[in-house]
Chain A
Amino acid sequence: MRRRDVFLATMILLLAWQLLAWLLRMEVLPGPAAVGQALAREIPRGLGRHFLVSGWRVVASIAVATLLAVPAGLILGQSARLNRIVSPIVYILHPIPKIVFLPILLLFLGIGDTSKIFMIFLILFFPILVVVRDQAGALRPELIYSVRSLGAGRRALFRFVYLPATVPAALTALRVSIGTAVAVLFFAESFATTSGLGYYIIVESWGRLAYPEMYAGVVAMSALGLLLYIVVDRFERRMAPWMFLHET
């Protein structure tokens, strides 16, 4: 994503929003100017803190999910026998909407950060695991043969072949999951907590019908997602420059 493209996209969306606000002329949809003012007003008054709290929760979940799902996916991708046993378990657990466990998580992990981080971790873990496993399992045997013939054992294969080979796949899975992670975070923060963007939108603004403030929270949520996408993009360009050779 180039800076100019992001700017252009933002302008198009703001224009569409403004047109819609003019057409509807309803208190429930204030225009971008009013929301912008609310945003500037609310950031020092607490919205900034809520943004940071939500950001920390998502980043912590992504970090834990990546640290656990990537090695697990690599191991399953390398071992057909283990994969045969574990795959059905993954396919049974993966489609369950993890959000249904929120009340149980709140019960066991409390209403603090841990329950929210664990919730998002659960959602991110499976897609990353499946994508990394498939990528590791799909490596051409010739590549493995040639590196093994250089004297590589299992550990060296893991370090020099499987791990770098799955970086782009893991980052793609992460990119796909960021939207879901932010959406779930919103839900998880909408009750039994006093911080985070979900709390700000539902309790602090929507609850008192303060629509410009509510939209300021929505904009902050979108900014959080965008920021995460940009970080993943940058990381990918750094970790997998060979993927971008044909770009002009």
Chain B
Amino acid sequence: MISVDRLTFAYPDQPPIFRDFTWKSAVCAAWAVIGPSGCGKSTLLYLLAGLRQPAGGQIFVDGQPVPRPRASTGLVLQDYGLLPWATVWDNVALVMRMGCFYRDKRTEGDAPRPYPRSDITSAQIEHWLRRLGIFDLKDKYPSQISGGQRQRTAIARSLLQQPNLLLMDEPFSSLDALTREDLQRLTVELRQETGVTTVIVTHNIEEAVYLGQCILVLGRAPNTEARVIENSGAGCPRFRSQPAYAQKCSEVRDALAVA
């Protein structure tokens, strides 16, 4: 799904964050990326999303380079990225409206169409709002709902396009503990229902272990190699109560200590 080959990236006038960094995501369907602040976790996500371009090397998603964001990659951010002037319904329906906006756009070559799908219907919007438990809030504005409900809205909007890759940048870090666990469980369920590959960036060890079947540990910049911890227990909603969970948390903690 994801292939990063000899990636080099630096922000202007800053030392490089990635230098000749190679990472193959193989068949893993649920990735967690963890590392200390400033290690480049979010930058890696933005590179995968096509929002930033590497200075060197190549990134492939689904076998294709990502010179711009692709509609089949969903992105969920910590601060939700919702339009404050639009209701919950309109925020999710934005994808449908943009699909209509770009209906006549064609793409050259064999690259997948980067624009939003033009066949999304109101019934699909309703389906996702109901699945995420926010249908009753459809007429509310983001400022009128809780953080957890905002994040559910953002997830509904991302899933509406039936993405095959869902990137999440510390999506639950500003939520309270109960809401966070609730949404982590929902993420596991949604992945199983839709078959979407998820990459979740987090600074929380427990979250990384609960959600990531493979955990990519980044160290202090520049990152030159991908250190991956296998975590086959993740993906089970009750993983948290198993002994393997605590063991894996400890393993990730040790890996971070030497990162």
By the criterion CB–CB under 8 Å, are B98 and A156 in contact? yes
Cβ contact within 8 Å between A151 and B85: no
A159 vs B114: C-alpha distance in the bound complex, in angstroms?
18
From A146, A153, A242, contact of B84 by CB (8 A): A242
Complex-state Cα separation, A245 to B77, whole angstroms: 25
Query: How far does the alpha carbon of A19 sit from the alpha carbon of B51 in the complex, in Å?
Result: 67
A247 at the interface (CB under 8 A from B): no
User: Which residues of A are found within 8 Å of B81, using beta-carbon distances?
Assistant: 142-143, 145-147
**With A and B bound together, what is the CA distance between A144 and B144 in angstroms?**
21
Of the stretches A26-34, A77-85, A160-168, the one at the interface is: A160-168
Interface size on A, residues (CB 8 A): 23
Query: Is A140 an interface residue, CB under 8 A from the partner?
Result: yes
Q: Is the CB of A150 within 8 A of B51?
A: no
* B73 and A149 within 8 A (CB): yes
Residue of A nearest to B52 (CB): A145
Q: Select B77's contact among A145, A153, A159, A164, beta carbons within 8 Å.
A: A145
Interface string of B21-48 (1 = CB under 8 A from A): 0000000000000000000000000100
Contact across chains for A149 and B141 when beta carbons are under 8 A apart: no
Interface residues of B in 43-59 (CB under 8 A from A): 46, 49-51
Closest to B49 in A: A149
Given contacts A146-B81, A156-B102, 7 further A-B contacts (CB under 8 A): A146-B80, A150-B94, A151-B71, A151-B114, A151-B115, A164-B85, A167-B85
Q: Could you tell me which A residues sit within 8 Å of B by CB distance? A: 140, 142-143, 145-153, 155-156, 159-161, 164-165, 167, 240, 242, 245
Chain B positions within 8 Å of A, measured between CB atoms, are 46, 49-51, 68-71, 73-86, 94-95, 97-98, 101-102, 114-116, 141, 143-144, 154, 157-158, 161, 167
The 3 closest A-B CB pairs, nearest first, are A146-B81, A151-B71, A149-B75
- 11 residue pairs of the A-B complex, CB under 8 angstroms, read A140-B79, A143-B83, A145-B75, A145-B81, A146-B80, A147-B94, A150-B75, A150-B98, A151-B115, A153-B68, A242-B86
